[in-house]
Chain A
Amino acid sequence: MTYHLALFILIIVLAVIAVMTKNIFFSAIILAFISIGVSLILFTFTSPWAAVFELSVCAGLITLLFISVISLVQKEKRTVQEDRAKFTLFPFVLPIIAVLSWFYIAPLFESVSKYPHLNIHNYPLGQIIWKDRVFDLIGQIAIFAAGVFAIKSFFARQLTSKKAQVINHPPSLKLRKGKQIERKIKT
């Protein structure tokens, strides 16, 4: 119980630091630590597969992506002119939201425990993924393919100058245009 609560408080504190810090490189690293905290919480909920995915993908791959993109951006241009007053106001806004969510949001979600219990917790995860929710796998493959094609279209290979010239000004069209101009001159 104490370990569980301590993890949640740690995540909240880390998230506040990630939002408030000026250095985006630092906030990307803090985000990795938040992912580690989330995966530890998932372990406490006896969901090890989701925790392992979270740890390897979110704490590993996403941090790598963030750090590589931030490193590609020049150091002077990483900071953007922002209204820092809004950021300094944040620690004062957070307690207000905390009090409001204590009274309104937490009781709202309490109704979740009244939802029907499917009692399929005895099924192993493999059976759920490969038999009950096969359509999810198709969706995952589709999303993965869409992501790969989107990134490929963003960073399409540039054509060499000769090929680009041929595509932009095909020789046959040039001739036709030339003939048309000649005809116009004659007329």
Chain B
Amino acid sequence: MTNIFSIDWYFISLLFFIGLYCLLISKNMIRQIIGLEIMSKACLLAVILSGAATNNINLAQAIAITMILIEVMVVAISLSIVFKFYKATGSIDLKKLS
């Protein structure tokens, strides 16, 4: 069982890195939010996995539900900011923010 968890942690860290890389190199604001989403998915899996590893899966589920709600609100607000920015400047380029 320990081996399964170690492989899972490995894949979760890779998923987190993929999201981080997208967030760092992309200049497209929508793609950056997609990177943030990928990172948050890795965090969600990490919470559930730690709950499974310590026999507290239901507690982890309760926290995961809160995390999903926060994720939705963050995405909704950031997408509305992107759309407002697009309306003002006619672009979704991050360079034009400064």
Contacts and interface: CB of A to CB of B under 8 A. Distances in A.
Interface of A: 1, 4-5, 8-9, 11-12, 15-16, 18-19, 24, 27-28, 31, 34-35, 38, 41-42, 45-47, 49-50, 53-54, 57-58, 61-62, 65-66, 69-70, 72-73, 77-83, 86-87, 90, 93-94, 97-98, 101-102, 105-107, 109-110, 112-113, 115-121, 123-125, 128-129, 132-133, 136, 139-140, 143-144, 146-147, 150-151, 154-155
| Range, interface on chain B | 35 or more
Nearest to A109: B9
Contacts of A35: 41
Contact of A117 (B17, B55, B92): B55
Q: Which of B21, B58, B75, B80 counts the most chain A CB atoms within 10 A? A: B58
Contact of B34 (A28, A61, A78): A28
B73 A53 contact: no
B1 to A, nearest CB: 9
What 9 A-B pairs have minimum CB-CB distances, sorted nearest first? A147-B73, A50-B64, A109-B9, A8-B11, A105-B13, A113-B53, A19-B22, A86-B25, A106-B10
Given A28-B34, A62-B37, A140-B69, A120 B56 contact: yes
B10 A102 contact: yes
B28 A34 contact: no
Contacts of A98: 10, 14
B13 A101 contact: yes
Given A1-B4, A27-B34, A65-B75, 16 more contacts: A5-B7, A8-B11, A9-B11, A19-B31, A31-B38, A46-B57, A50-B65, A58-B71, A69-B83, A90-B25, A93-B21, A120-B56, A123-B58, A132-B59, A133-B62, A151-B77
A147 to B, nearest CB: 4
A145 B36 CA distance: 22
A155 B62 CA distance: 32
B81 A81 contact: no
A42 B11 CA distance: 14
B98 interface: no
Contact of B54 (A49, A66, A102, A118): A118
